[in-house]
Chains A and B, each alone.
Chain A
Amino acid sequence: MEIIRRKDIYKDPGGIITAKVFMYTLSTCPWCRKTKQFFKDSNIPFDYVDYDLQGEEEQEKIIDEMTRLGGAMAFPFVKIGDKIVMGYNPEKYSELLELNKGKQK
């Protein structure tokens, strides 16, 4: 699979792809849905947590993490390896995942 290029994004021990893409999303937000769809369409495995469906205590933890890592609380909040992308930004996701690298000459 051509997508496995960066060790900080994927591990491939014994052919098993381990997702290093994680996102905080809102169940009510169409841009969060589009973000999930982008990764599905790109065959990139990911995990996510819908912030609005969590309890108060968990939400507090998520706010702390988002503020610490991204400096703001903005959804969708996508972690690709150690990089953070806030907002729906397929170009940035592709760049970080090096999705288009194989297509370039």
Chain B
Amino acid sequence: MTVESRKKALRYLFQKIVDPLGYKFSPDEEMVDFLLEQEVMLEQKHGIPYCPCQGLTKKREENMKIVCPCIPFHREHFDAIKRCWCLLFVTKDVTNPNELKQIPFNEIKRGQDVR
């Protein structure tokens, strides 16, 4: 299977997973294409399409939490910033993904604690 055809297959598969979660692919098509390509490369290397924007560790159970789409494992975080960490997916109400900031979860938690 070529990289292009695998990208297409992942797109089809991911769409079905993220839709019921309230997410969609980012409208930034160039970014989506780049990220899917990185995932295909990671899949070729590790056998699993891991998130290209998060680091793998020695802990398998932790690595399983960054298999794309990783939204269910980071629901509170991603719902708060309306995007996944990579910006491959955004919440369905988002029209301009460039407005969404990449804020780490501990900063969001800190903000909530202050309130």
Contact = CB atoms under 8 A, between A and B. Distances in A.
Given A72-B106, A87-B101, A89-B102, A29 B58 contact: no
Interface of B is mostly: loop
Interface in A30-68: 30-32, 51-52, 56, 59-60, 63
B22 interface: no
Given A71-B106, A87-B104, A89-B102, A30 B54 contact: no
A56 B85 CA distance: 24
Given A28-B38, A28-B42, A30-B31, A63 B105 contact: no
A44 B58 CA distance: 34
Interface residues of B, number: 23
Given A28-B41, A30-B31, A30-B35, A59 B57 contact: yes
Looking at A32, A52, A59, the one whose CB has the most chain B CB atoms below 10 A away is A52
Nearest to B35: A30
A33 to B, nearest CB: 9
A52 B35 contact: no
Contact of A28 (B52, B101, B105): B52
Interface of A: 26, 28-32, 51-52, 56, 59-60, 63, 70-75, 86-89
Interface of B: 31, 34-35, 38, 41-42, 52-58, 85-87, 101-107
11 contacts: A28-B52, A28-B53, A29-B38, A29-B53, A30-B34, A59-B57, A60-B58, A72-B106, A74-B54, A74-B104, A75-B53
